[in-house]
Structures are given as structure tokens and as C-alpha cells.
Amino acid sequence: MEKQTVYDYSAPLLDGQEQSLAQFSGQVLLIVNTASKCGFTPQYAGLEALYQTYRDRGFTVLGFPSNQFGAQEPGSAAEIATFCETRFAVTFPLFAKIEVNGPAAHPLYRLLKREQPGLLGVFGSGNIRWNFTKFLVDRNGRVTARYGPARKPEKLAGAIERLLGPL
């Protein structure tokens, strides 16, 4: 049977420990493929700011490093963790490096792309085009929106607030 929500998946964290996304059940999620050596890497700061602003209301950012675009995430898990902590004070969960496209794409990313193929994906594969593509997930684990890398994290606050609901 095909898995239906993001909560049906798991992935290893940077420390190698397997993390079930069911732990985030009932939360609004922003799932992002990240890279440490990309022009969009400063978005880590905006992602962390969103996490700090909304986490007490049931919001979490999940970062998935990927080296599939311009080899911009060449580091080891330890190097990625150190970079994110020291450069951007990232405290949201970061997962082990994955592939987001192709035959070895993580099953979670196959779901994300199927649910929100993106503007060009309607006519093609729905593949991720670059680092820092963002998927917004509602409290039921359903993928509600997809944002390209150029969309700055702070521009997603309104959409996040709508999914979180009233204070």
C-alpha cells in the first residue's frame, strides 16, 4: 500500500539515528532540501527564525541536506552539523544527506513531488530543480504547497500562520 502522508516515513538524522516523522504528527512542517555551499545557504537563518517564531504553536522545519545540485553539499554529516550550528545557530532537525531526485530519491521526496509537482512538474517529472526548495505540510501530514529556492523563508510566514490557526 502506498504511503499517504509525510508521517508515514522515517529518515536518519545527521547523527545516524533513525527518526520517524510520526513524531511530528499534528504539527505544521516546512520540509527543505538544503546545502552548505549554495547561493541560497543564507536561508538557513530565515528558516531558523521561522522555527523559533512558530515552534511553540506546533511548527517545525525539517532540513534534508542533498549534494545533487552542483555538488554544493560535499561535507560529512559531522561537517554539515558543525557548519549549520556555528554559522547559522540551526536548532531545527537536520537529517542525513539524501537524494531528492532520480531512482535513489528518498521515498519522502517521491511523496512530496507527487503531491506538489510544482509549476513545471505539471508538465513533467516534478523534480526538484535546486537546493532550498520548500514544501509546506499541514497538521494532517498533507503537502499543501511547494515553494522554489528564490522564495525567502520569511515570505512564508502568512501561509504558516494560516495552517497553524488562531492563537
Cβ atoms of 132 and 32 closer than 8 Å: yes
Q: How far is CA 51 from CA 29, 35, 61, 93, in A?
A: 10, 18, 6, 10
Residue-wise pLDDT tens digits, 32-66: 999 999 999 999 999 999 999 999 999 999 999 99
- Read off the CATH number of the domain in which 41 is found: 3.40.30.10
Higher pLDDT, 147 or 122: 147
Instruction: Place 4 in a pLDDT band, splitting at 50, 70 and 90.
Output: confident
Residues of the domain holding 112: 6-164
Q: Does any domain span residue 124?
A: yes
Catalytic residues: 38
Instruction: Place 22 in a pLDDT band, splitting at 50, 70 and 90.
Output: very high
Q: Does any domain span residue 1?
A: no
Q: Does any domain span residue 55?
A: yes
Cβ atoms of 131 and 43 closer than 8 Å: no
Does the pLDDT of residue 120 top 80, yes or no? no
Instruction: Place 117 in a pLDDT band, splitting at 50, 70 and 90.
Output: confident
What is the model's pLDDT at position 123? 56
Q: Does any domain span residue 53?
A: yes
Domain count, the chain: 1
Cβ atoms of 156 and 147 closer than 8 Å: yes
Q: Does any domain span residue 95?
A: yes
- Which one-letter amino acid corresponds to residue 105? A
What is the model's pLDDT at position 20? 97
